[in-house]
Amino acid sequence: MCGIIGYTGTNAVPYLIKGLEMLEYRGYDSAGIAVTAKGAIQCVKREGRVSRLRKAVDALPFSSTGIAHTRWATHGKPDETNAHPHISKSGIFAVVHNGIIENFSVLRTQLEKEGYAFTSQTDTEVIAHLLEKNYSGSVTDAMRETLPLLEGSYALGILCSEYPENIYFAVRSSPLTASVTPDGAFISSDPSVLTSYTKKAYRLKSGDFGRITKTAVEIFSADGKRVKRDEAELSESDINAEKGEFPHYMLKEIYEQPEAVLNTCRAYIRSGEVFFNSFPFDKKSIKKISRLYLVGCGSAYHAALTGKYVFELLTDIPCEAAFASEFRYSPPPLDSSTPVILISQSGETADTIAALRLAKEKSAHTLSVLNVRGCTMESESDCCFFTLAGKETAVATTKAYSAQLSLIYLLALHMGKLTGKLNGSEYGIILESVMSLPDRIRSATGVLDAQMRNLAKSIKDAGNVFFIGRGTDYPAAMEAALKLKEVSYIKSDAVAAGELKHGSISLIEKDTPVIALCCGGKTFFKTLSNVREVISRGARVICVTDSSHKKECSAFGEVITVPVSHPVTAPSLEIIPMQLLSYYTALLKGCDIDKPRNLAKSVTVE
Ligand code: F6R
């Protein structure tokens, strides 16, 4: 959450504004910019989007050097007062911050006693005042004094009016990249901002601090020693994609799913077999696994829950799926016999990172399923598997989720073979089904687009929409409900179909839309029984099923038909119409589809 950028070179403001526009997916409650000019710091901030700030920056003087911020509010209202940059007492320092300073109220009370007046409710403002308090001519020395006082996480960009062409930075458990390019030198929360100017950048490590000048990046590690870090190549997942002919990134990314799944599968299938370079288990060591945990947040949790069903089916290893935010504070018993698979598109989600660290602490083997190269989780996991979905820009995930599912199927297949649970023919049938997903997803997207556009007209005014399913249809129902609510703001709930009658059915009234996901094979007829129950209470039922079950479902109302697939891979197909339905419903409601309210793509705070 929150995006920071710093630039020193020629003309700072246009570079900073362009960078903020690219970082806006990280939060869009407010935006601000500070530059150095004539020995002082000048600052402009606006509540709301970067487009509002863009109109206000003419007020700034010309400057070669500045820092900027786009905010997802954590401490204090999302208004102009709380917008970054925050300025120190005498105006000598300006600070932009991504992260949370957990002990800020203790620090603030102390600083207030010492006469520092605060103008915002943010945790960040303490940093600006502390830097000033600890400053006696050297900014890096002031940082050496200040940083150890901060508890929590941060990526900081700092301006000091006495060094008007330098940008100072510090990092702890929040992402930050730095690079000197032919256009000038940058720091940025996201390397994709740099891809227009360079192919290489320093991905700073937790504990690093230092400064950039127009020609150099100077890095010190947490112990204060000067260090040399290798520049990393910026990868495909860093490259910022354009919307092209699509009106929104979400629709573009829905249409990119066949490619995302194909590229992911291609990377791990060789000569008709799943192949992982340096897989951490073999036939012998896999027998020592007593339980497998799958952990993630939001959609990544839904992928994890799908994984639980699939891994148990294909490997016979007992599995649990957990929200990272629960796992980290109520961990199950963990040890070297309980590997943990962590799933994260960004690899920067604070709760998932904490779950990873906790698992490592307890000697559990950590395997991460990631999309962004060079992320924090890559550097901390024992072993990483990358989805090749490319850069995902819309806040609501679609293609990265689909790529996660396909990688989970491949991991489960591979482990199923190692445990001996899967015989050659079952393995071959399921692998074939995974390999044919790209074509089937492409066909489902093309065929169902118009139907979903039409269905959206009758969903857009619904007060409440239910999604039901059993087995792997259940996490698919959860993902469908999340997609609809996050982009269209319609209240939507997912209920395990068999649980309806234990409470939620009391909410079913005449014409309440109930979308029944019933592709999961053996529970098909059980779900149909639940469909009958809600129909008896007046619900309007829409069944999502495959063509082999279309006839049975037609008796109950509308049917959305996806291509037939092996039950293991069915979640990848039934989610396609649900993504399209969410998109078109949000479109009809005039919602800000790519940047839904209150959300951010990369949730770097807990
Ligand atoms: C929903 C969505 C979020 C993310 C969640 C985890 O559409 O995108 O629920 O799935 O914030 O993010 P990552 O995968 O980056 O850890």
Whether residue 374 has pLDDT greater than 80: yes
The atom of ligand 1 lying closest to the CA of 346 is 15
Residue 401 in this model has a pLDDT that exceeds 70: yes
Q: Is the pLDDT of residue 202 over 90?
A: yes
> Largest Cα–Cα distance of the chain, in whole Å?
79
Predicted local confidence at residue 241, as pLDDT: 73
- What is the per-residue pLDDT across 265-298, written as a single tens digit (0 to 9) for each? 999 999 889 999 889 999 999 999 999 999 999 9
**357 contacts: CB under 8 Å, gap ≥ 6:** 380
Binding site membership of 349 for ligand 1 (Cβ less than 6 Å): yes
DSSP class of residue 606?
-
Average the pLDDT over 252-265 and give the result: 96
Is 527 within 8 Å of 473 (Cβ atoms)? Answer: yes
Token pair for residue 99? 């992260």
pTM: 0.84
* Residue of 397, 485, 489 with the most ligand 1 atoms within 8 Å of its CB, for mutation: 397
Q: Where does 540-587 show beta strands of DSSP type E?
A: 540-546, 558-562
Q: How confident is the model at residue 201 (pLDDT cuts 50, 70, 90)?
A: very high
Considering only CA atoms, give the Rg of the chain. Answer: 25
pLDDT band for position 562 (cuts 50, 70, 90): very high
pLDDT score for 557: 87
Q: Check residue 239 and give its pLDDT.
A: 72
User: For residues 580 and 448, is the Cβ–Cβ distance under 8 A?
Assistant: yes
Task: Name the phi and psi angles at 481, rounded to 5.
Answer: -65, -40
- Name the band, by pLDDT with cuts 50, 70 and 90, for residue 240: low
Whether pLDDT at 148 is above 80: yes
E strands, 428-546, are 464-469, 491-496, 513-517, 540-546
Cis peptide before 567 (omega within 30 of 0): no
pLDDT band for position 51 (cuts 50, 70, 90): very high
List pLDDT tens digits, range 170-197: 999 888 999 999 999 999 998 889 999 9
CB atoms under 10 Å from CB of 535, counted, come to: 16
pLDDT for 153 equals 87
Q: How far is the CA of 344 from the centre of ligand 1 (A)?
A: 7
How crowded is the C-beta side of 506, counted as CA atoms within 13 Å? Answer: 2
495 φ, ψ (degrees, to nearest 5): -130, 135
Which of 308, 417, 595, 601 is labelled catalytic? Answer: 601
Given a cut of 80, whether residue 238 has pLDDT beyond it is no
Q: What is the number of the ligand 1 atom nearest to the C-alpha of 398?
A: 7
Indicate whether residue 324 lines ligand 1 (CB < 6 A).
no
Is the pLDDT at 601 greater than 90? The verdict is no
Residue whose Cα lies nearest atom 5 of ligand 1: it is: 298
Q: Band the pLDDT of 130: cuts 50, 70, 90.
A: very high
2 is catalytic: yes
Burial class (CB in 10 A: 0-12, 13-18, 19+), 551: exposed
Q: Is 389 in the pocket of ligand 1 (CB under 6 A)?
A: no
Handedness of CA 597, 602, 604, 606 (dihedral sign): positive
* Confidence at residue 342, expressed as pLDDT on a 0 to 100 scale: 98
**Measured between alpha carbons, how far is 495 from 145 in angstroms, rounded to an integer?**
52
Distance 444 CA to ligand 1 centre (A): 24
The answer, yes or no, to whether any atom of ligand 1 lies below 6 A from the CB of 351, is no
CA pair distance 180, 87, nearest whole angstrom: 26
What pLDDT, on the 0 to 100 scale, is given for residue 237?
67
The stretch 408-413 carries a mean pLDDT of 98
State how far the Cα of 94 lies from the Cα of 89, in Å rounded to an integer. 10
Q: Closest by alpha carbon to 2, among 187, 154, 223, 166?
A: 154
> Does ligand 1 lie within 6 Å of residue 17's CB atom?
no
pLDDT of res. 174: 85
Q: Cα angle vertex 292, ends 287, 296, to 5°?
A: 155
- Give pLDDT tens digits for 383-392: 999 999 999 9
Q: Is 601 a catalytic residue?
A: yes
Task: Name residue 4's beta-bridge partners.
Answer: 69
When the pLDDT of each residue in the chain is averaged and rounded to a whole number, the result is 94
575 lines ligand 1 (CB under 6 A): no
Condensed to tens digits (0 to 9), the pLDDT of residues 563-577 reads 999 999 999 999 999
Residues 6+ apart with CB under 8 A from 188: 3, 4, 5, 6, 19, 23, 176, 177, 178, 194
Average pLDDT over residues 42-70: 95
| Ligand 1 center to 34 CA (angstroms) | 31
User: Which of 129, 63, 133 lies closest to 101, judged by CA?
Assistant: 129
pLDDT band at 430 (very low <50, low <70, confident <90, very high): very high
Q: Is the CB of 345 under 6 A from ligand 1?
A: yes
Say yes or no to pLDDT of 379 above 80.
yes
Integer Cα distance of 350 and 143 in angstroms:
24
Mutate which of 299, 398, 407, 485 for ligand 1 pocket (most atoms within 8 A of beta carbon):
299
Residue 313: its H or E element: helix 298-315
Which of 286-300, 320-334, 519-533 has the weakest average pLDDT?
519-533
**Residue 315 CB burial class (10 angstroms; 0-12, 13-18, ≥19):** buried
Percent of the chain whose pLDDT exceeds 70: 99
Residue whose CA lies nearest to ligand 1 atom number 1: 396
Active-site pick, 2, 319, 553, 591: 2
Could you give phi then psi for residue 52, rounded to 5 degrees? -70, -40
pLDDT at 236 over 70: no
- B/e letters for 477-506, b = 16+ CB within 10 Å, e = fewer, are bbbbbbbbbbbbebebebbbbbebeeebbe
**Closest alpha carbon to 313 in 478, 403, 427:** 427
- Look at residues 574, 553, 85 and name the one whose alpha carbon lies nearest to residue 306: 574
Q: What is the rounded CA–CA span in Å between residue 376 and residue 245?
A: 33
pLDDT given at position 260? 96
- 380 Cβ contact partners less than 8 Å away, ≥ 6 residues apart: 353, 356, 357, 360, 366
Is the pLDDT reported for residue 461 higher than 70? yes
Q: Per mean pLDDT, which range of 71-80, 355-364, 512-521 is the poorest? A: 71-80
Q: CA 251, CA 257: separation in Å to the nearest integer?
A: 10
Predicted pLDDT of residue 69: 97
The answer for residues whose C-beta is within 8 angstroms of residue 62's C-beta and 6 or more apart is: 11, 37
Cα separation, 578 vs 397, whole angstroms: 12
- Ligand 1 midpoint to CA 333 (Å): 26
